[in-house]
Homo-oligomer: A and B are copies of this chain.
Amino acid sequence: MIQVGIVGASGYSGAELMRLLSARSDVAIAKVIAGGSAGKRVDEVYPALSGVIDLTFEAFKAEVLDGLDVAFVALPSGEGMNVVPQLVDGVDRVIDLGGDFRLRDEDLYEKFYGRKHTASRLLGEAVYGLPELNNEQIASAHLVANPGCYPTSAILPLLPLLKKGLILSKGIVINSLSGVSGAGRAASVEMSFAEVSENIRAYKVTKHQHIPEIQSVLEHATGERIGLSFVPHLVPLTRGIYTTIHADLAASSTEQELLAAYDSFYGDAPFIRLRKSIPEIKDVAYTNFCDIAFTIEHRTNQIIIISTIDNLVKGAAGQAIQNMNIMLGLPETTGLIGKELQHV
């Protein structure tokens, strides 16, 4: 039985981890840590888990998690870097779902997150947990930095085309639409139903902390300097990210080459579906799939790529479990439904 602990278990990503892991017969959720809810039963905060999980939230102490096989840290960015250093010695494998260990450059971290990094010694050790890119490193990692939701939805569709040189590395425009659960479970007027319903707003234009994450992962993977713009939007939706990307095609790119690039990268990837029709959020909601489709616009010589994920699953908890599976040598799809067919 795999013994796991979840730090920050009372937030949306933590709850999604509980939901997904509680259905597995090979995993025991041993500890659920949540400062603000310490002392409350899980089913008091999440009645959906009544009769499903019989645990009580505890306050964080590193030793509580000692000896566990896996610790998931599902805290807001800025809090993970306080907790992770206390866990890395006592716990076999640590998966951080926050943003603190995704950038290797602590200056970039300070610039976009607006605070100093207090555990920079671990930045070099952390493996960026995008399984479709870093499967092998994840398998042997001790600390995994689970990717951001927007970066997952942006990197996956761009990676094969940039690696193969089929699109230009400058002038990429990424527009993403996100459900509100991406902002976490917190009290705010801005996230209230009355403000979000029948409304849309872009936010953190030119300043979102996922900009350097997308850019640095793509630059590291391709060895090239990448020029991109990313604008996130909040729409009246609870779950899901919808990403629309414009990129200039390299002179010679053909539809066959573009398809072949995706095939060669993702042919064996159980959670990437290359779609012929336009993806929709509802096709991936509550799943770990990332659906991708593209259209060539001959008039502008651009490619328009659309990708969709469930931000709480492939964008957070599902991907974290996929990483856990890989770290433990289990089939990647264990406890997550994967595809059996190709070219759907």
Q: Is the CB of B281 within 8 A of A237?
A: no
Judge whether A35 is part of the interface by a CB distance below 8 angstroms.
Answer: no
Task: Tell me the nearest residue of chain B to A341, going by C-beta.
Answer: B51
Judge whether A275 is part of the interface by a CB distance below 8 angstroms.
Answer: yes
For the complex of A and B, the 9 pairs showing the least CB-CB separation, nearest first, are A51-B339, A50-B344, A193-B196, A200-B242, A187-B187, A48-B283, A201-B280, A47-B283, A199-B282
Partner of A273, one of B50, B171, B197, B279: B50
Q: Is the CB of B339 within 8 A of A238?
A: no
| CA distance in complex: A185, B278 (Å) | 20
* Chain B residues with CB under 8 A of A244: 175, 202, 231, 233
Partner of A304, one of B179, B231, B285, B296: B231
Q: A193-B191, A246-B173, A340-B54 are in contact. Are A237 and B198 (CB under 8 A)?
A: yes
Partner of A180, one of B180, B193, B201, B238: B193
Min distance, Cβ A196 to any Cβ of chain B, angstroms: 4
Q: A173-B173, A194-B12, A238-B198 are in contact. Are A300 and B339 (CB under 8 A)?
A: no
Task: Tell me the nearest residue of chain B to A295, going by C-beta.
Answer: B205
Q: Is the CB of B278 within 8 A of A206?
A: no
| CA distance in complex: A273, B43 (Å) | 12
The 11 sampled A-B contact pairs (Cβ below 8 Å) are: A23-B337, A50-B283, A52-B339, A179-B194, A186-B189, A197-B198, A198-B238, A198-B240, A201-B279, A202-B244, A202-B278
| Residues of A25-81 whose CB lies within 8 A of B | 43, 47-48, 50-52, 54
- Residues of chain A whose beta carbon lies under 8 Å from any beta carbon of chain B: 12, 23, 43, 47-48, 50-52, 54, 171, 173, 175, 177, 179-181, 185-189, 191-203, 205-206, 227-229, 231, 233, 235-240, 242, 244, 246, 248, 273, 275, 277-287, 289, 291, 295-297, 299-300, 302, 304, 306, 308, 337-342, 344
Q: A12-B194, A188-B187 are in contact. Are A177 and B177 (CB under 8 A)?
A: yes
* Chain B residues with CB under 8 A of A242: 200-202, 233
Partner of A236, one of B43, B228, B235, B289: B235
How many copies of the chain does the oligomer comprise?
A: 4
Task: Tell me the nearest residue of chain B to A203, going by C-beta.
Answer: B278
* Chain B residues with CB under 8 A of A48: 282-285, 287
Min distance, Cβ A203 to any Cβ of chain B, angstroms: 7
Q: A23-B337, A206-B297, A235-B177 are in contact. Are A47 and B197 (CB under 8 A)?
A: no
Q: Is the CB of A229 within 8 A of B300?
A: yes
Q: Is the CB of B295 within 8 A of A206?
A: yes
Q: Is the CB of A235 within 8 A of B238?
A: no
Min distance, Cβ A343 to any Cβ of chain B, angstroms: 9
Q: Is the CB of B192 within 8 A of A51?
A: no
Q: Is the CB of B198 within 8 A of A188?
A: no
* Chain B residues with CB under 8 A of A308: 200
Partner of A281, one of B188, B198, B300: B198
| CA distance in complex: A183, B55 (Å) | 33
| CA distance in complex: A344, B228 (Å) | 31
| CA distance in complex: A282, B299 (Å) | 34
